[in-house]
Amino acid sequence: MTAVYSQVRTSIRNVALAALSEFTSPVVIFSNSNGLEPAESYCVVNILNIQQIGHHNTSTKVDLNSQLSIQVVYECLCQFSFVGSLAGDMVQSFTQRINNNPLTIQELKRNKLSIMRKSQTRRAPQVRDTKWIEYQTLDVTFSYIVNTLQVIDTVEGVVIQQNIDNTSEIIKIPESITYP
Paired strand residues for 67:
151
Whether the predicted pLDDT of 153 surpasses 80: no
Q: What per-residue confidence (pLDDT) applies to 180?
A: 62
Q: Which amino acid is at 96?
A: Q
Kindly give the pairing relationship between strand 126-128 and strand 122-123. unpaired
CA gap 15, 106 in Å, rounded: 9
More confident residue, 129 or 76: 76
CB-CB contact of 27 with 42 (8 Å): yes
Q: What per-residue confidence (pLDDT) applies to 177?
A: 72
Domain for residue 142, yes or no?
yes
CA gap 72, 53 in Å, rounded: 8
Paired strand residues for 168:
163
Domain for residue 12, yes or no?
yes
Which letter does DSSP use for residue 37 in this model?
P
Of the chain, the percentage scoring pLDDT greater than 90 comes to 64
CA torsion angle for 81, 23, 114, 2 (degrees, to 10)? -80
CB-CB contact of 79 with 48 (8 Å): yes
- Whole-prediction pTM value? 0.80
Domain for residue 161, yes or no?
no
Domain for residue 19, yes or no?
yes
DSSP one-letter string for 159-170: EEEEEETTEEEE
CA gap 86, 131 in Å, rounded: 16
Of the chain, the percentage scoring pLDDT greater than 70 comes to 96
Largest CA distance in the chain: 99
Whether the predicted pLDDT of 168 surpasses 90: no
What's 44's domain CATH number? 3.30.2000
Domain for residue 147, yes or no?
yes
Domain for residue 117, yes or no?
yes
Whether the predicted pLDDT of 1 surpasses 70: no
Looking at the structure of the chain, the number of domains it has is 1
Domain for residue 179, yes or no?
no
CA gap 73, 113 in Å, rounded: 11
pLDDT tens-digit profile of 40-85?
A: 999 999 999 999 999 988 877 766 777 788 899 999 999 999 999 9
CA gap 158, 85 in Å, rounded: 73
Domain for residue 170, yes or no?
no
Q: 9 is in which domain, residue-wise? A: 4-155
Nearest alpha carbon to residue 134 among 9, 5, 42, 2: 42
Instruction: Count CA atoms closer than 13 A to 13's CA, side-chain side.
Output: 14
The residue-averaged pLDDT of 124-140 equals 93
